[in-house]
Amino acid sequence: MRKMLTIICIPVFVFALFFQTQQALANVYAAQLKITNPDTTEFDGNFEDGSAALILFYLNDDASSVSIDVIDASTNASIATIDGGAPWITGNTSCG
């Protein structure tokens, strides 16, 4: 009787684990990043001439706020943080 109970319980337990309700969670992130001049022409990387930059990206989901950290690749130090404010909606958007 004990062996029969074990044989029945194990498949039921495995079935319950395998078919339980699954929930996938992910963070909101930006993709397809592109940096251009404010008029969307190619950015030359020079701020010394007084020009600005426009950051274009695709947001994968709605966000309550967006913060952009500009990092110097040679030192890995943050040189600027842009607070994009709130709210942001899914899709193509820009900040600059």
**What pLDDT sits at residue 75?**
92
Q: Per-domain residue ranges for the chain?
A: 25-95
Residue whose C-alpha is closest to residue 54's, from 74, 39, 69: 39
Average pLDDT, the chain: 74
Residue bearing the bigger pLDDT, 66 or 74 = 74
CB 37 within 8 A of CB 50: no
40: left (phi over 0), alpha (psi -120 to 50) or beta: left
pTM of the model: 0.57
Q: What is the per-residue pLDDT across 22-54, written as a single tens digit (0 to 9) for each?
A: 555 557 878 888 888 888 888 888 878 887 888
